Structure formats: C-alpha cells, structure tokens
C-alpha cells in the first residue's frame, strides 16, 4: 500500500514532535533521578559514615536533615527564581549546584565540613523537585501532560532503587572498608553532569508559557512548533496562552492572599503536598533497612531485602503513568489513599500480634511493598502532577515553590519524628496513627481537590477564577479523533493517548 507525500510528511512531523518531547523529558527528569538517588543513598551510607566519622545521634540527625532543610529552602527560593530567570536557566544553575554538592559531601574529611555541602545538595534537590514538574507541564500538550510530568516521579523512584542496589552491592563487597560510603555518594555526579550537558547542548527550549509571560512570543512559538503535532496546534495554543498572559500579572505572596480564588489554589496545593508526606512514605524509603533490622533481620540481609521497596516503587510508578491515560486524578489519588491506610493498619496489627523474628520481618516487608504499590501508583505521581498543573501562570513559580517547600519541611519533621515515635510508642501505635492521618487526608481530597485530566492549564485557571466547582471536579472533554476543539476562545488540546507517547 502506497502513501502520498502529504501523508508521509504528516507521519514524519508526528514522529518528530514525539521524539522531541521524549528527549526533553528524559533530560530534565535526570533532576528527578538525582532527587531519588541523593535521598535514597543515605539509607545504606549511614552505617559506614557512623564508623568512619564517629557520628553521634546528633550528628546522624544533622547529616540526614541538612539535605532536607536545604531542599525546603531550595524549593521556595527556586520557585520564585524560575519566574524571573526562566525554568531552563534555573535548572542549569541547579545542575552545577548538584555537581558541587555531590563532590563536596563525598570528599570532605570531617562531618562539620560535610554538612554545608549536604545543605547545598539539598538545595538542588528541592529546587529540581519544584522546577522540573512545572517545566514539563508548561511544555507538554494537555493530553500528554499527565504521562510526561509523572515521568519525573518514575525517575525519582528509579534513583532511589539505584541507590538501594548500589548500597547493597558496595556494602556487601567492601563491607570492611568504612570509606565506601564516599563512593556511594560520589556516583551521583554522573547524572548531574548529564543533566548539565543535556540542558546546554541538546536543544532543550525554555518554557513557552514563561516566554509568553516575558514578551518573547517568537521563541514561545518556536518551542510550541517543536512540541506540538501541527502548526495549527502551536498557533492556537500560543493564542490561548497570550490571552491568559495579558490578563495576568506577576504577583507577590501578599497579593495572592488578597484574592480568594488564588488563596484556594494555594490552600489545595499545600494540602495535597502535605497529604503525600503524611502518608508516611519516606518513613519507609529512608528507614526501610532499619525497620527490617528491628523486625529481626541481619544488616546485610536487610540491605538486600530493602531493594524490594525500591523495585516495587519503580513498577508501581510505571503502572500509575499508564493509568493516568485512562483514569482521572481524583479517583487515582483516593484509591491510593485507601490502599495505604489498609497497609498501615496491617503493619500495625502484624507488629502487635506476631513475635519478633524472621517471619515477622518478611511479613512486614510484604506489607511495606503493598503500601508502596498504592503510594507510588496513586499518591506520589498525582501529588507532583497536581502541583505542576493547578497553579495559575502568574503565581506558578511562587506557589509551586511554597507548596514544595512545605512538603520538604513535613518530610524533615517526619524524618526526625519517626524513630522517636517508634522508640516511644512502638510500631503498632505509630502505624495506626498513620492510618488515622490517611483517613483525614481522604476527606480533604474528596472535598477540595479538583480534577485536571484533559484540561489545558488555562482552562483550569478560568475554572478556579469563576469558582465553577462542578467543572473543577470533572475531567475535561475528550474525543475519538485527533483534533483540537476551539470554543469561546478556549483551546483544548485533544490527542489520542496510546501508551506513554
């Protein structure tokens, strides 16, 4: 069967825009890989750091929390900074900070000289966690946005799995070399260099929405031409973004507090971020090895068994990305919360009824894997996706930075509080408490969280502004053909979603 030249040209154009989006997504989500690796590697590095650096309980807490505090600061600062400098330029700066922080925290001889570099590394982690999802959301077509933005979550959990595997390999082969933690941490410099080179030399564009907001319309159109299926799609979306940008102006925090609909956006964004952390995911991701040791496993066995937590996180996130093309954000998040609450109840009951030993350890491992299946399939990817989607253009950097900063602060508090709770009240009460918090989070999501599936970022902004609650809780229109619907000046990108791309 022969195709005419116009059909071949259309196929080549479709292939070109898909390849372009794939390339940009994989380069930018190296920031997510670094996020995952740098937060996960401490799990296996701490025992060796304790021996070489003679760490006390205080300095162990400082080594762990310095990165998290840096992340909270980085998320807040870089959110606003990206509104001024641009998403791409901010990511370039962060990639350089990743390199400096990684090398410094790996090679410094004393704990007090390591801490500033851990803070610097955390600054880059927090900044990337705020900027990468926003950049991908602003570049992506509406129908692809969920699958492309949550690719960052896939890279986060892949980075954590990579850290667990490297910890287990190096920790078992060179267990008698206390300096091996330095190599565990230093390996993160490779993706950091890859991120920097990709941003500089791989034709990664600036966010078209940021370009429009700063009057650079020709550059915005060029970015949209590369990332949209047709010239008509690019022109129509540029018109819509320009219309919204003309109505908007950059606002400061107090300006946001004066407008009720902007306050509502910020309130929901912060609430969703807190729900993610209060589910207790990082209690397992950071302390998974220690939990298994407490249940009765030897250290080397616990290090290896903890890989299961990382592996299921990657698989569950991949499943979540596929489901995003078929299911709305609200039902996915609520389903994930129901699953995590049941897993918390099961872990608490297991700790109450079973005696400490190998059997209980592997039952708890199976339950943490079940917890992570629901968390990483439903809660975590939706959290990061919602943060990038729901804030209006004029406050997107500020609001994303603030909500992500609060996410990291809650993360830091739980990181400190989890071992204290375990020692004070035990596993059973701690995980029952997580279950109660999870029920409260479900009520919050049910009443407040909007549905963002199949809506352009500009549509969401108008629905928030007009307080159209019914429309906010429904997903956008879809159709059977690849087409664009333009109604009342509102362009809705509608494309088929078969797989990730």
Q: Which tokens hold the place of 334?
A: 């609520």
Contact criterion met (CB below 8 Å) for 43 and 71 = no
Least Cα distance to 168 among 10, 311, 44 occurs for 44
Least Cα distance to 25 among 129, 143, 155 occurs for 155
CA 258 to chain centre: 29
The whole-number pLDDT of residue 126 equals 94
Distance of alpha carbon 460 from alpha carbon 27, whole angstroms: 27
How long is the chain? 501
The whole-number pLDDT of residue 500 equals 32
**pLDDT for 132-164, tens place per residue?**
998 998 888 877 877 888 889 899 999 999 998
Distance of alpha carbon 198 from alpha carbon 204, whole angstroms: 8
Q: Which tokens hold the place of 27?
A: 């380069």
Distance of alpha carbon 48 from alpha carbon 176, whole angstroms: 9
Specify the long-range contacts of residues 355-362, CB closer than 8 Å, at least 24 apart. Answer: 356/295, 356/296, 357/295, 357/296, 358/296, 358/297, 360/295, 360/296, 361/292, 361/295, 361/296, 361/297, 361/305, 362/305
Distance of alpha carbon 150 from alpha carbon 136, whole angstroms: 9
Least Cα distance to 389 among 464, 303, 315, 339 occurs for 464
- 113 φ, ψ (degrees, to nearest 5): -85, -20
Q: Do strands 490-494 and 483-487 pair parallel, antiparallel, or not at all (unpaired)?
A: antiparallel
The whole-number pLDDT of residue 135 equals 92
Largest pairwise CA distance in the chain: 74
CB neighbours of 490 closer than 8 A, spacing ≥ 6?
A: 240, 456, 458, 459, 462
Distance of alpha carbon 481 from alpha carbon 288, whole angstroms: 47
Q: What is the pLDDT along the chain (501 residues), one digit of tens a residue?
A: 444 544 444 444 556 888 899 999 999 999 999 999 998 898 788 888 888 888 887 788 788 889 999 999 999 999 889 988 999 999 999 999 999 999 999 999 899 999 999 999 999 999 999 999 989 988 888 778 778 888 898 999 999 999 989 988 988 888 778 888 999 999 999 999 999 999 999 889 999 989 998 889 899 999 988 888 888 888 888 888 887 666 555 556 666 667 777 788 888 889 999 998 898 888 887 777 778 877 777 777 887 887 888 899 899 999 988 888 788 888 999 999 999 999 999 999 998 888 888 888 889 889 999 999 999 998 988 888 888 777 877 777 778 888 889 999 998 888 778 878 888 888 899 999 999 999 999 999 998 888 877 777 677 777 777 766 665 666 666 433 333 433 343 433 333 333 333
Sequential DSSP letters for 264-309: HHHHHHHHHHHHHHHTTHHHHHHHHHHHHHHHT--HHHHHHHTHHH
Other C-beta atoms closer than 10 Å to the C-beta of 79 total: 28
Least Cα distance to 131 among 143, 116, 149 occurs for 149
The whole-number pLDDT of residue 470 equals 65
DSSP 487: E
The whole-number pLDDT of residue 498 equals 34
Distance of alpha carbon 353 from alpha carbon 30, whole angstroms: 43
Mind listing the domains of the chain with CATH numbers?
16-494 (1.20.1250.20)
Distance of alpha carbon 145 from alpha carbon 30, whole angstroms: 18
The whole-number pLDDT of residue 431 equals 92
């Amino acid at each position: 069967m022969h195709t005419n030249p116009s059909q071949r040209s259309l196929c080549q154009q479709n292939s070109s825009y898909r390849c372009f989006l794939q390339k940009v997504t994989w380069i930018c989500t190296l920031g997510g890989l670094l996020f995952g690796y740098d937060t996960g590697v401490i799990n296996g590095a701490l025992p060796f750091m304790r021996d070489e650096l003679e760490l006390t309980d205080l300095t162990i807490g400082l080594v762990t929390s310095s990165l998290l505090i840096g992340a909270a600061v980085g998320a807040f600062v870089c959110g606003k900074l990206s509104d001024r400098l641009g998403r791409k330029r901010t990511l370039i700066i962060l990639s350089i900070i990743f390199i400096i922080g990684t090398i410094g925290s790996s090679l410094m001889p004393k704990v007090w000289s390591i801490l500033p570099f851990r803070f610097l590394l955390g600054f880059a982690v927090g900044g990337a966690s705020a900027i990468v999802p926003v950049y991908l959301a602003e570049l992506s077509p509406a129908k692809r946005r969920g699958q492309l933005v949550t690719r960052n979550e896939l890279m986060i959990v892949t980075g954590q799995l990579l850290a667990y595997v490297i910890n287990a390999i190096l920790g078992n082969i060179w267990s008698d070399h206390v300096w091996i933690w330095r190599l565990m941490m230093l390996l993160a410099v490779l993706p950091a260099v890859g991120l920097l080179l990709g941003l500089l030399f791989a034709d990664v564009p600036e966010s078209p929405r940021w370009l429009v907001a700063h009057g650079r319309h020709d550059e915005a159109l060029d970015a949209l031409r590369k990332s949209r299926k047709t010239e008509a799609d690019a022109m129509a979306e540029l018109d819509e973004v320009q219309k919204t940008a003309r109505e908007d102006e950059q606002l400061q925090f107090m300006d946001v507090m004066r407008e009720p609909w902007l306050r509502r956006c910020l309130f929901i964004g912060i609430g969703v971020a807190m729900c993610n952390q209060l589910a207790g995911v990082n209690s397992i991701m950071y302390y998974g090895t220690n939990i298994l040791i407490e249940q009765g496993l030897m250290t080397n066995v616990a290090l290896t068994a903890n890989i299961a937590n990382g592996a299921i996180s990657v698989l569950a996130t991949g499943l979540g990305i596929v489901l995003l093309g078929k299911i709305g954000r609200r039902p996915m998040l609520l389903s994930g919360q129901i699953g995590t609450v049941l897993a918390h109840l099961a872990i608490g009951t297991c700790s109450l009824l079973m005696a400490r030993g190998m059997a209980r350890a592997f039952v708890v491992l199976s339950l943490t894997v079940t917890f992570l299946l629901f968390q990483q399939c439903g809660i975590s990817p939706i959290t990061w996706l919602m943060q990038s989607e729901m804030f209006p253009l004029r406050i997107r950097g500020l609001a994303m930075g603030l909500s992500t900063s609060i996410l990291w602060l809650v993360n830091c508090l739980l990181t400190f509080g989890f071992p204290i709770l375990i020692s004070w009240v035990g596993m059973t009460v701690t995980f029952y408490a997580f279950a109660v918090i999870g029920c409260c989070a479900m009520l919050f999501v049910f009443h407040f969280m909007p549905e963002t599936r199949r809506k352009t970022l500009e549509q969401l902004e108008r629905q928030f502004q007009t307080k159209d609650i019914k429309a906010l809780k429904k997903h956008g229109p879809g159709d059977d053909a690849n087409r664009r619907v333009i109604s009342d000046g509102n362009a809705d990108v509608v494309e088929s979603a078969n797989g990730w791309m």
